[in-house]
Amino acid sequence: MMRLLHALILTWFLLPGTAVLLRAGDVEFFEKKVRPVLAEKCYKCHSTESEKLKGSLLLDHREHMLTGGETGAAIVPGDAEKSLLIESIRYGNEDLQMPPKEKLSAEIVADFAKWIDEGAAWPDEPVPQREGSGGEEAFDLKKRFEEHWSWRDFSNSEPPAVKNPDWTKSPVDQFVLAKLEEKGLRPAEEADRSIWFRRVHFDLVGLPPTREQWGEFLSDQSPQAKENAVDRLLDSPHFGEKWARHWMDLVRYAETYGHEFDYPIAGATEYRDYLIRAFNNDVPYDQFVKEHIAGDLLPEPRRNPEKGFNESILGTGFWYFHEATHAPTDVLANEADIMDNQIDVFGKSFLGLTVSCARCHDHKFDAISTKDYYAMTAYLHASARQEVVIDENRVREKTAADLIAKKRDADALFKLPVQKAQVSAPLREDETIFEDFEGGTLPEGWSTTGEAFSAGSGGGVRFQSKAPVAQPGVVDSGLLGKKQVGILRSPTFTIETDFIHILTKSEKSHIRLIIDNYQMARFSALLFKGTLHNNLDTKGGFVWKSLSGNLNKYRGHKAYLEFIDPENGEILVDEIRFSTHPKPPAVPEARAKPVNQNLPAPVPALIKEGEGIANRLPAPRYAVAMAEGSPEAANVYVRGSHRSLGDEVPARFLEALGGATGDRLALADHVAAADNPLTARVLVNRIWHHLFGQGIVPTVDDFGPMGRLPSHPELLDYLAEDFVTNKDWSMKRLIRELVLSSTYGQSSKPHPDLSSGMLAEIDPANELLHRMRVKRLTGEAVRDSILAVSGRLDPQLFGASVPTHRTEFMTGRGGKKSGPLDGGGRRSIYGAVYRNFLSPFMLTFDVPSPFGPKGKRSVSNVPAQALVLMNDPFVLEQSKLWGRRIVEEYSTDAERIDAMFLEALGRKPDLNERNRIESYLSAESSGNQEETWSSLAHVVLNMKEFIFIP
C-alpha cells in the first residue's frame, strides 16, 4: 500500500481537456478530502445520478465543473477566490449558499479552497454522462417561434360562406355561423329588444338605461333604432368611464404604494382621467400604445382638444403603479422586483406574453429568453420616474417662450461684467467636479422637464425684481420668475465617494439622489439618510449642501441627481462635487453676496413686466410619468439574482418579434406596428372578452403555449387585420360592429330546436356561441346601478378620488381618512384605490387587488355577496332613497311597481309577480309608505336579474 502511494506521488497525470499537469499527491488529497464531501453533500442534486438536477450543474467530474451550470463555471483551477464553488460554500452570496441546509465546516471549506488553488486535481476517469438531456428540453427560441400560432402573421382570412346568409349582419356573424352550421347547430333566437338594450347599456357605459332612454329607444320604430342607440352610447361621456376601468385592471391601477405605510402615488388620478378621455375620444389603439410606452418621447404629442396640454405623456404613468416599500435593505433587489412587475404589465397588457416568466431562466414554454427579459430591463434602467406638470392651455409653455424672448431683449440692453465663477478653493485630494454648468447651455446628458430650467445657465436678467441679475455658470429655475416649475436631472453615474457637495441656492425646492431608481426616500429616509433635501430653504444665499449620511452604503450603485422646483420657489445650482471630504469647501466670494448692479432703463421696467406675466401662472397640476434617463445596457441576472451578473444585453425588443434595438420610442413603434402579430390580436380579443363574456382566446393575457387556443382563429385574425387596416385602430368602430352583430344580438337561451342533449354533446361550454352568455355585472356596475336607480348618482366626470368608506374591520398602518358611505354618489371608478384599504364591497364583487395585470376578472359567486346586498348599510340607505323617490313620483301601486321594474330590470312584472308583490305590500304596510316601498326597493335590488344580465 505504501509503495503504491509512493508510486502515485511520483507519477504525473495529464488530465483530459486541460494541459495542466497535476501531481499525484493532489489526487490523493482530492480523494481523501474532497470527493467524499462532494458525494455526501452535493451529489443528491448535482450528479449524473441525481433524480432531479439542480441549476444544470454537475459536480461529478472536473469536466462538468469547468462547464458549470446556469451561473457559469463552478471552478477556476488555481484560483479558489474566483471559483463560484468556493463562493457558494462560503455562503458569501446570499442567493447561492450551498449546501442549502447547512454550511460546511470551516476546515472543509479550506480543503476545497486548497484543492482548487492547487489545480483541482481529478484522477483520469471517464466523464460520466447524464441519461437523456438532463430532464428538460434545451431552450430553442427559433423552434418555439415556429411551432406556436400567435407569432404567425394574420392569415388573411375571408369571411366564410354560410347556408343562412339572412342571419348575418356582419362578417363576424359569418365566421360564427359557419362554425355552428358545420356542427349542425344554429344560433339562438334574437334577444328581446329590451334585453338587448339593457345588455348594450351595461357593456358600453356600465349603467342601466334611464327612464328617458327607455322611452326614446322603445318609441324609435325606425330600422336604425339599434344603430341610433349604439351611436348615442358611444358618444356618451360615460363610455370612457366603463372602458377605462378595464384598462385599469391591466395596469394594476392604484393610488397608494401598499406595504407598511401605504404611501400615496401622487397624480395617479390624472392617469385615470387620461384613460377616460382617451376612450371617449377614441384615440387609435396604436397611438394609445405608443403613448403608454413612450408618450414622453413622441415628437408630436397628442394635445388635449379643449385645453391643449400634452396628453401623450400621461400614458406613461402606467409604468409606475407598482407596489413600493420604504427602506429596502437591498435596494438593487428591490429595483429588480419592481422592474419584474413593470415588465409583467407591459408584456401581458400589450402583447399577451408572460415575458416576466423569463426572469430567472429562459421561458419554460414560450419563445422568450432570459436575455429578452433583461433587454427589456435596459429600457427601464434608462428611464426615470417623474411628476410632470399638466400645462393647461399651454400657458406655461407660452409664458416661457414669451419671457425668453423678453429676456433676450433685456439682456442685450446691458452688459453683465464677465465674472467667471471662481471655484472656491482648489480641488482637494480625492475630489472631482461632477458638473459646474460653465457652458451656458445644459451639459451633455443632463435633461429637464417643465419650463423652469428652459432659459439655460447663461446668466443675465431674472424676472424677479428682488434678485434681478444672474451670473453665468449657474443653472437657475428662477430666471423666468418663481412660478415656473421644473426638474433638472443629471446623467446616471456610479457612486464612488461618500460625499456629494452641491453649491446651491434654494427656496421650496428639492434635491434628490435617486439610487437604483429607488423613489421612496422622500417618504421615509430610513436607510437613505442624507440622500435628499426636501423643501430646501437656503435663506436667500448660496450654500454648500451635502449628500452624505447613508451614502456610504451605496458605493458602486448607479444613481442620478434631481433638482426639483415644484411650485412657487426656485433652485439655483452652481457646482456639484464628488468628494471624500465630509466637509464642503468654503462658499466662493462671488456667490456669497447677491449680484448688485444698477440696471439701465428700461431693463428694470422690463423685468417688472415679465415678473407680472410670470406671476399670473396658475398653481401646477401634476401627473406621474416617465422620463428618459441615461442610456444603459443591462446585465442578465443569472437565475434572477442581481448578485450573479451574466452577459450584458442592450435595450432591444423581443428576439421573436425582431429584436430591434433603439430607444424606448423605437420600442413603442415596434409594439404598435401594423405587422406586429400580437398587439392587434390581443386587443381585439380583449374587447371581444368584455362584450361576449369570454375571449376568442379565453386566456386574454396569455397568448403563449400555456394559454388556450382561439376558439375561432380565423375570426380573430379577421378582426385583428380589419382593425388595423380598415378601422384604423379605432376601438369604437370595432365595438360598434360587434354589438350590432347578430351574434351579440342573440338570446341567452339556446334555440328551441336544439335539444339539450345535443348541446351537451356538441357545444357544452358554449365555445361556439350558439347563444349569448349571461354576464354578471362587475362590482363597479353593481354599485353604480344601485346609485342610478336610487337617484343618487352624480354623473360628474373626472377629478380627485373619493376616499374609501372605512368600516371598523379596515384597520392597519397607513390608514386614510374615511369617505362617505355612498361615495358622494360618484361612479365607482372615482372611488379611491388605497392598496391596503380596498373597498370591501368591490372586493366582494371581484374587483381585483392591484398587484399585476388582470385582463380577465374572476366571477365568484359567494354568500358574502348576498350578505352585502342584504345587510350593507350602503345598500339599505340607497333602498330608502329609491323607495322615497318612487313614492314621491308615482301615486298608484301599479305605477310604482312598474317604475321599479323598469328602472332596475328593464321589464314589466308579470301578473304572478305583481300579485305576489301586492300581497307583500299589504302584509308590510304599516302606514309608513316610504318604509314599505323602501323594503320592496331593497328586495328588487337583491333580485338576481339586477346583476345577472341575460
Partner 1 sequence: MHCRRFQKSPLSRRDLLAKGAMGFGGVALQALLSDQSRATVTNPLAPKTPHFAPKARNVIFLYMDGGPSHVDTFDYKPMLKKYNGRDPGEVIGKLAPTQFDNVGKVLQAQWDFKQRGESGAWVSELFPHLAKKEVIDEIAFVKSMTSKFSEHTFANYFLHTGSPFQGRPSMGAWFGYGLGSENENLPGFVVLNGGLIPPGGLDCFGSGFLPAAYQGSVFLPKDQPIANIKPGEKDAESQRRKLDLLSDLDRSALTKGYPDPQVEAAIQNYETAYRMQTSVPDLMDLRGESDVVKKLYGLDSDFQNTKTFGLQCLLARRLVERGVRFIELTCPGGNGDRWDQHGKLVDGHGKNCKTVDQPIAGLITDLRRLGLLDSTLIVWAGEFGRTPFAQGNDGRDHNPFGFTVWMAGGGVKGGASVGATDDFGYKAVQDRYEIHDLHATMLHLLGVEHTQSTFRFSGRDMRLTDVHGHVMKEILV
Report which secondary-structure segment, H or E, holds 949. Answer: strand 948-949
Question: Nearest approach, Cβ of 702 to partner 1 (angstroms)?
Answer: 5
Q: Length of the chain in residues, anyone?
A: 950
CA dihedral of 445, 450, 455, 459, whole degrees rounded to 10 = -80
Query: What is the residue whose three cell numbers read 436667500?
Result: 540
Residue (23 or 856) nearer to partner 1, CB? 856
Residue (520 or 720) nearer to partner 1, CB? 520
Question: Nearest approach, Cβ of 693 to partner 1 (angstroms)?
Answer: 7
Assigned C-alpha cell, 929? 309608505
Question: Nearest approach, Cβ of 906 to partner 1 (angstroms)?
Answer: 12
Contact 167, 744 (CB under 8 A): no
Instruction: Give the angle 664-246-258 at the CA atoms, nearest 5°.
Output: 75
User: What is the distance, to the nearest Å, from the Cα of residue 111 to the centroid of all Cα atoms in its chain?
Assistant: 50
Question: Nearest approach, Cβ of 893 to partner 1 (angstroms)?
Answer: 15
Report which secondary-structure segment, H or E, holds 500. Answer: strand 499-507
Question: Nearest approach, Cβ of 830 to partner 1 (angstroms)?
Answer: 22
Assigned C-alpha cell, 695? 375571449
Assigned C-alpha cell, 76? 477556476
User: What is the distance, to the nearest Å, from the Cα of residue 418 to the centroid of all Cα atoms in its chain?
Assistant: 50
Residue (457 or 935) nearer to partner 1, CB? 935
CA separation for the pair 380, 369 (Å, rounded): 18
Compute the Cα dihedral for 146, 150, 155, 157 and give only its sign.
positive
CA separation for the pair 408, 396 (Å, rounded): 18
Contact 818, 834 (CB under 8 A): no
CA separation for the pair 760, 178 (Å, rounded): 20
How many of the other CB atoms lie within 10 Å of CB of 6?
11
Residue (371 or 938) nearer to partner 1, CB? 938
Residue (155 or 849) nearer to partner 1, CB? 849
* Helix and strand counts by DSSP (H, E) for the chain: 32, 21
SS3 543: strand
Question: Nearest approach, Cβ of 712 to partner 1 (angstroms)?
Answer: 16
Question: Nearest approach, Cβ of 204 to partner 1 (angstroms)?
Answer: 22
Question: Nearest approach, Cβ of 617 to partner 1 (angstroms)?
Answer: 39
Residue (448 or 766) nearer to partner 1, CB? 766
Residue (469 or 940) nearer to partner 1, CB? 940
Question: Nearest approach, Cβ of 68 to partner 1 (angstroms)?
Answer: 21
Question: Nearest approach, Cβ of 765 to partner 1 (angstroms)?
Answer: 5
Residue (418 or 923) nearer to partner 1, CB? 923
Residue (450 or 779) nearer to partner 1, CB? 779
CA separation for the pair 697, 426 (Å, rounded): 68
How many of the other CB atoms lie within 10 Å of CB of 720?
23
Residue (557 or 733) nearer to partner 1, CB? 557
Q: Exposed, middle or buried by CB within 10 Å (0-12, 13-18, 19+), for 697?
A: buried
Strand partners, 571: 506
Q: What radius of gyration, in Å, describes the C-alpha atoms of the chain?
A: 34
Residue (488 or 696) nearer to partner 1, CB? 696
CA separation for the pair 157, 401 (Å, rounded): 53
Contact 500, 513 (CB under 8 A): yes
Q: Which residues contact 580 (CB under 8 A, 6 or more apart)?
A: 429, 430, 431, 497, 498, 499
Question: Nearest approach, Cβ of 323 to partner 1 (angstroms)?
Answer: 6
CA separation for the pair 336, 640 (Å, rounded): 9
Residue (352 or 629) nearer to partner 1, CB? 352
Question: Nearest approach, Cβ of 326 to partner 1 (angstroms)?
Answer: 8
Question: Nearest approach, Cβ of 861 to partner 1 (angstroms)?
Answer: 4
Question: Nearest approach, Cβ of 163 to partner 1 (angstroms)?
Answer: 24
Contact 937, 883 (CB under 8 A): yes
The torsion angles phi and psi of 916, rounded to 5 degrees, stand at -65, -40
Residue (9 or 525) nearer to partner 1, CB? 525
In the chain, what is the straight-line distance between the N-terminal and C-terminal CA atoms, in Å? 90
Residue (580 or 919) nearer to partner 1, CB? 919
